[in-house]
Structure 1
Amino acid sequence: MLRSRWSLVIGLGIPVIAIVVVPPFIANTQVTVFGIPFLFFWMFAWFPLTSVCLGISWFGFDRRHYLTPDGAQS
């Protein structure tokens, strides 16, 4: 069960915190990245970063649970 908890934390917890919890704290900053307000940069950066988190979760924790004994995926 510990493996699935870490899978959930990495695959869902980190993106949810980054997309739901952090933006209110950075919404009033005047910082820009390449001329884009930091809040927009943050939100758009998390599109691919969420996929990276899901990939880490899959390859690191969940993939082996879906492999057949001969090594092929079911």
Structure 2
Amino acid sequence: MPPESEAERNALRSAARKCNAELHEAIAANPKTPFDHLSGPIIKKHHTPIAPRFSLPLFLWTIGVLNGQFEER
């Protein structure tokens, strides 16, 4: 379900930014560890508080937008 208000968009982006920063730190600290092993627990930790309102695919898409992988509509 997409964010309907500016406050909801900000909450989603804030969680995505925090998750993205932690992912980048974990990758830098453990460059030889497979990404799947690092990312799962971190993504789950940051998605759980916003899960009742935002789906996991939307959360991951928002992280992709932050990283320049996708364009925001």
Coarse TM-score class (shorter-chain normalised) = 0.3 to 0.5
* TM-score, scaled relative to structure 1: 0.41
- Higher gyration radius (CA): 1
For normalisation by structure 2, the TM-score amounts to 0.41
User: Quick check: which one's strand share is greater?
Assistant: 1
